[in-house]
Amino acid sequence: MAFQRGQYPEAVRLAQRAVESSGGVAAKMVLGNSYFKLGKYDEAIAEYRAVLQADAGHREARANLAAAEKRKGG
């Protein structure tokens, strides 16, 4: 909900807690997307890569990873 309301720092906090407790792909995507919105591309890239390690076919993670790398300049 915090992500949908544009409250990205709060979304990061909540998603970090969810990742720590479950390590789930959905939580990692929210965390990566929140970092992306905050301009923290290195952190976003790390989360998208973690998602792809768990699910190599995750299309959104692959697309978002490419976008974050492009924004970062890599």
Kindly list the structural domains of the chain, giving each domain's residue range(s) and its CATH number in brackets, ordered by start: 8-72 (1.25.40.10)
29-48 pLDDT, tens digit each: 999 999 999 999 999 999 99
Q: Give residues with Cβ within 8 angstroms of 40, minimum separation 6.
A: none
Asked if residue 64 has pLDDT above 70, the reply is: yes
* Proportion of the chain above pLDDT 70, given as a percent: 99
Q: State CA 61 to chain mean position distance.
A: 8
pTM of the model: 0.85
